[in-house]
Amino acid sequence: MILLNELKIFKNSEFGEIRTVEIDSEPWFVGKDVAEVLGYSKARNAILAHVDTEDKKDAPIQGDLGGTQNMIIINESGLYSLILSSKLPNAKAFKRWVTSEVLPAIRKHGLYAKEELLDNPDIAIAAFKALKEEREARKALEAENERMQPLALFAKSVSASDTSILIGDLAKLLKQNGYDTGQKRLFEELRQRSFLMKSGSSKNLPTQKAMELGLFEVKESTINNPDGSVRVTKTTKVTGKGQVYFVNLFLGKQVEEKVS
């Protein structure tokens, strides 16, 4: 069961509130909150229709009065699926808020104006100073990107985010913008173009050149097996820079660097 003190509530004057929780160091969102913000009249139906099975799960959440309520929570991939399927005009603005503020706050600091910080001024000052410095650095980087390269509207939206996404999510973004592909086909294309390793234990991990270009990052996770042993898994994720690069590449636009 997810306890009340495990939930992080993010508030925005335009979008209201969304509840999140970290599970195995990954952010999950209360699906009902996201669906309602994105204008779906029937939240549960929207989640069932647009979010893949592996990107959602039922979770008992503690209520204000101590009882429990079964709700659907969705991961980051499920979040993007709902955003891409939404017809709400400000869906992109919602995505920008989540990727530029909510996710970085969860991952880098584990906070978003949490009230308990106020009980310890020294910790609060240090935490908010770090958050302020991070935002200033990100704004400086965004300004530099604007000066260096004229980007299309979509490219601007992803370059403003320091959030990496799964290759399956990149396939959805490409398809949304007119490039006919899917997860399996995109993996194959990236291998053929030497962005990903083609075989062996390193299959689908980034090539050295792709890593040097900053197109990918590799996330390692540990899984405890029933026999007590520990298995390490590696997942390839596309960086914000990589998202811009591949959108430009697959939509036939010029890029400054190419993988040989």
| pLDDT over 70 at 194, yes or no | yes
| pLDDT over 60 at 115, yes or no | no
Judged on CB neighbours under 10 Å (0-12, 13-18, 19+), 155 is buried
Identity of the residue numbered 19: R
Which residue did the predictor score with more confidence, 167 or 133?
167
CA 146, CA 7: separation in Å to the nearest integer? 36
State the virtual CA torsion across 125, 130, 136, 138 in degrees, nearest 10.
-150
Question: Tell me: the pLDDT tens digits for 36-80?
Answer: 999 998 999 999 999 999 999 988 887 666 677 888 999 988 888
List the one residue out of 200, 220, 197, 198 whose CA is nearest residue 210: 197
Query: What does DSSP say about strands 68-74 and 216-224: parallel, antiparallel, or unpaired?
Result: unpaired
- Given the structure tokens 């910080």, which residue do they identify? 117
Which residue did the predictor score with more confidence, 180 or 6?
180
Which of the given ranges, 55-59, 186-190, 251-255, has the highest pLDDT on average? Answer: 186-190
Asked whether 64 and 4 are in contact (CB, 8 A), the reply is yes
Judged on CB neighbours under 10 Å (0-12, 13-18, 19+), 84 is middle
Asked whether 48 and 96 are in contact (CB, 8 A), the reply is no
Domain ranges of the chain: 4-92, 118-148, 153-250
Window from 46-50, 91-95, 237-241 with minimum mean pLDDT: 91-95
Mean pLDDT of the chain: 79
